[in-house]
């Protein structure tokens, strides 16, 4: 997978950031809100729910990628 780093570490799944170069239709406002929450740095938690395949994971990955903040370390 292009851009994937499979080195050792506490994360068991590599985020699919290499797939974020396409257009995500109908999620612009959601992604803006998620990026705003990520940049707020107030310990904000966001819960997304919906049917499987509706784009929750892709929207979260896109927002994380755009926020420019590193993922938190997992214990």
Distance separating the N- and C-terminal Cα atoms of the chain = 26
Whether pLDDT at 15 is above 60: yes
Distance of alpha carbon 68 from alpha carbon 27, whole angstroms: 18
Interval 26-56: pLDDT, tens: 888 998 998 888 888 776 678 899 998 888 8
Tell me, what's the pLDDT at 51?
Answer: 92
Chain centroid, CA 72 distance in Å? 12
Tell me, what's the pLDDT at 17?
Answer: 62
Tell me, what's the pLDDT at 23?
Answer: 74
């Amino acid at each position: 997978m292009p851009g994937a780093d499979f080195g050792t570490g506490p994360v068991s799944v590599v985020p699919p950031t290499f797939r974020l170069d396409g257009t995500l239709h109908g999620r612009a406002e959601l992604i803006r809100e998620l990026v705003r929450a990520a940049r707020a740095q107030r310990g904000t938690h966001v819960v997304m729910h919906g049917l499987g395949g509706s784009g929750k994971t892709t929207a979260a990955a896109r927002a994380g990628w755009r926020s420019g903040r590193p993922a938190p370390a997992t214990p």
